[in-house]
Structure formats: structure tokens, C-alpha cells
């Protein structure tokens, strides 16, 4: 497929963004990226041969989106905006930096949305998070699947969840006031490659994979009891959802993207250990925060509106990620 349409992706050098950029390019779109490279990396935008998948000189902009006005000229002539940019990391970082995470994300969202108001693209997709659902509805691995209407009355557990909810709300208001087509995708726990796996900012799955690869040099410690659970969705499935939303996701409010099965962190840890083939002593540090106790998605709206459902099995996704991280630790 060839198209002259131009998609701008704030946050396009991260895990989700880089995979989306590659899919968009393969689908014939011109793609441009804005990223501050806090967690994203330029090399994530290279193909298997080490060549950039896009014109980096023309279409890559390393920019701090929390600064007002910097994105405004970058949206001139853009057909679609997929807003992935935010400050997020593993639970250790998020809970130790709640004030700055909240403030930075509010600034990023408001600046991007203000620029979208002026640029008036054909479509705007805001990437939200299941962390924005009320904490009291995320009670454990047996909690009923969340529905979109469960989001209010709002009571997220973390400042990150609140900040993403504010961006979602502002995006919807902007769409109502301007008539710009808006799509909101609320993602559950996304994993896959490329990704951070270091101790400071790595999220739970890549962190556990790193610990398994480095064991016994690094102890295999799980934060919390391991009883907490998440609905893990592979990045390839998320990119499928964004590509579908680009065509037919507008005007439907929030759409959850994630499976209807909640997997405990204990099960994730045990599966990673099994993939490693090592005899690993799993330790649980209950003095550490666990985050929300457990959640999963009723993704029937995604099926109805987008024709989307998850395809990548957890075992398949974990094996692929394990080998990706293993190559980078050993070389």
C-alpha cells in the first residue's frame, strides 16, 4: 500500500512507538517522530540491517514536549497524530517520583493537545493506560474484567494513572470542542522488544528476564508477594490495535486494549525461570510496593469497534523477549 499521508508520533522512539513507526512505514505512510530519548533510543528506529526506517535528518526531532510550543510547528501539514509520549517506567521509578511524573505528563499532554487543536489533523489517537482505572476495582487476579464505563468515579492508585487520565479527558474535550476525530486506546500492561531492562527504569517483565539471565550474579527478587496480577499484552498486538484505530477508531470514547486474563507476577516469574533453564531460587520482597493488585480487560468493545483481539501468547512473547535481552547482555 502506498499513501502520501503523514503520521506524526510523539514518543515514537520507545518500545511501542518504534514498532508502530516500522509498521506505518511498511504500510506506506510518511512517519515523523518527536522524542526526548529518555527511554526511547534512535537505534530502535533501525531495521534488521541497521538502516534507519525513516528519514532521520528530516523527520526525527529530539525535543522535550513538556516545554510549551516546541511541538506546534512540527504538526504543520500532518494528517494524523498518535500521541504516545509520556514519562513512565517500572513501579520503582513511578512510586519514587510521583510528583514529577504527574507534573511532566500533564505538561506533555496539554502541549501536544494544544498543538493538535491548531493543526487540525484528520485524526488524533491518544494512548492511555489501564492504570487510570479505580484502584478499588483492581483487587486481584480474580477481579472481574474491567469495562470502559468502570473508569468513573475516578480513583487511580498512582500519580501516573491520574496524569494519563487527565490527558485522556483533555483529549476527549478537545475532540468535542473542535470536531477533530479522536480515538482513545487504554492499554493494559504492554511488553516486548525493544525495551529498557535496567534496574532503575525497567518494567516488571524485562526486569525479571534480566535477573534470570544474570542469575546467580544478580539475585532473582520479585517486588511484592507475586500474587498481584496484570493483563499482559504484546507490543505486536498493541500495534495492530493502533493501526486499526487509525482507520476506524474515532468517536467511540475509550477502548481498552488487553486480554481478559489476569496473570500473576508469580506465574510470570516462574515462566521466565522455566525459559531460562536455570535452577533459580525465586525470592519475594514483600516490603516493596506491588501497585494495583490485579486487573484485566473486557475487550469486547475493541472487538466490536476495531475487530481487534490479542494474538501473541504469553509464552511466545516471553521467549522472544528473553532471547532479545540475552543477546544484549552477553554482547
Q: Is residue 18 part of a domain?
A: yes
Distances in whole angstroms, Cα of residue 168 to Cα of each of 162, 182, 189, 238: 10, 10, 17, 18
Buried b (16+ CB within 10 A) or exposed e, 57-77: eebbbebbbbeeeebeebbee
Beta carbons within 8 Å of 113's beta carbon, 6+ residues apart: 83, 167, 170, 171, 174
What are 223's strand-pairing partners? Answer: 285
Kindly state whether residue 266 falls inside one of the protein's structural domains: no
Give yes or no for a contact between 191 and 208, defined as CB atoms under 8 angstroms apart.
no
Place of cell 533459580: 280
**Within a domain: residue 324?**
no
Q: Is residue 318 part of a domain?
A: no
Sequential DSSP letters for 281-327 = --EEETTS---SSB--B-THHHHHHH-----S-HHHHHHHHHHHHHH
Structural domain contains residue 221? no
C-alpha torsion 86→92→98→103, nearest 10 = -20
Judge whether 52 lies within some domain.
yes
**Could you tell me if residue 104 is inside a domain?**
yes
Question: CB of 272 within 8 A of CB of 118?
Answer: no
Q: pTM for this structure? A: 0.95
Helix (H) or strand (E) holding 126: strand 123-129
The CATH code of the domain that includes 13 is 3.40.50.720
> Edge-to-edge strand order for the sheet containing 80-83?
60-62, 30-35, 6-10, 80-83, 123-129, 182-187, 254-257
Phi, then psi, of 254 in degrees rounded to 5: -80, 135
Q: pLDDT tens digits, the chain, 331 residues: what are they?
A: 556 899 999 999 999 999 999 999 999 999 999 999 988 999 999 999 999 999 999 999 999 999 999 999 999 999 999 999 998 766 677 677 889 999 999 999 999 999 999 999 999 999 999 999 999 998 888 889 999 999 999 999 999 999 999 999 999 999 999 999 999 999 999 999 999 888 666 688 999 999 999 999 999 999 889 999 999 999 999 999 999 999 999 999 999 999 999 999 999 999 999 999 999 999 999 988 767 688 999 999 999 999 999 999 999 999 999 999 999 997 5
Residues ≥6 apart with Cβ < 8 Å to 50: none
Domain of 190? 6-195+231-260+294-312
Cβ contact 131:188 at 8 Å: no
Residue 280 forms part of a structural domain:
no
Structural domains counted in the chain: 1
Amino acid at each position: 500500500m502506498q499513501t502520501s499521508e503523514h503520521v506524526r508520533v510523539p514518543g515514537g522512539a520507545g518500545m511501542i512507538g518504534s514498532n508502530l513507526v516500522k509498521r506505518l512505514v511498511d504500510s506506506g505512510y510518511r512517519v515523523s517522530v518527536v522524542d526526548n530519548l529518555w527511554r526511547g533510543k534512535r537505534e530502535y528506529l533501525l531495521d534488521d540491517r541497521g538502516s534507519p526506517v525513516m528519514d532521520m535528518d528530516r523527520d526525527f526531532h529530539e525535543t522535550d514536549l513538556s516545554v510549551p510550543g516546541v511541538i506546534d510547528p512540527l504538526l504543520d501539514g500532518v494528517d494524523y497524530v498518535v500521541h504516545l509520549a509520556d514519562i513512565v517506567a517500572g513501579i520503582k521509578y513511578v512510586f519514587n517520583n510521583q510528583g514529577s511524573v504527574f507534573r511532566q505528563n500533564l505538561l506533555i499532554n496539554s502541549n501536544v493537545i494544544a498543538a493538535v487543536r491548531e493543526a487540525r489533523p484528520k485524526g488524533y489517537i491518544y494512548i492511555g493506560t489501564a492504570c487510570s482505572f479505580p484502584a478499588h476495582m483492581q483487587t486481584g487476579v480474580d477481579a472481574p474484567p474491567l469495562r470502559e464505563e468502570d473508569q468513573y468515579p475516578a480513583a487511580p492508585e498512582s500519580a501516573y494513572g491520574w496524569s494519563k487520565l487527565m490527558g485522556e479527558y483533555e483529549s476527549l474535550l478537545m475532540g468535542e470542542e473542535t470536531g477533530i476525530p479522536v480515538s482513545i486506546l487504554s492499554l493494559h500492561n504492554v511488553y516486548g522488544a525493544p525495551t529498557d531492562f535496567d534496574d532503575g527504569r525497567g518494567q516488571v517483565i524485562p526486569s525479571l528476564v534480566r535477573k534470570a539471565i544474570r542469575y546467580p550474579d544478580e539475585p532473582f527478587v520479585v517486588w511484592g508477594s507475586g500474587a498481584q496480577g496484570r493483563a499482559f499484552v504484546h507490543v505486536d498486538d498493541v500495534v495492530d490495535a493502533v493501526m486499526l484505530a487509525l482507520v476506524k477508531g474515532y468517536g467511540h470514547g475509550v477502548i481498552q486494549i488487553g486480554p481478559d486474563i489476569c496473570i500473576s507476577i508469580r506465574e510470570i516469574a516462574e515462566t521466565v525461570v522455566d525459559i531460562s533453564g536455570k535452577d533459580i531460587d525465586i525470592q519475594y520482597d514483600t516490603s516493596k510496593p506491588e501497585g494495583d493488585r490485579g486487573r484485566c480487560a473486557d475487550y469486547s468493545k475493541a472487538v466490536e469497534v476495531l475487530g481487534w483481539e490479542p494474538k501473541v501468547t504469553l509464552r511466545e512473547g516471553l521467549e522472544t523477549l528473553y532471547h532479545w535481552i540475552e543477546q544484549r547482555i552477553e554482547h
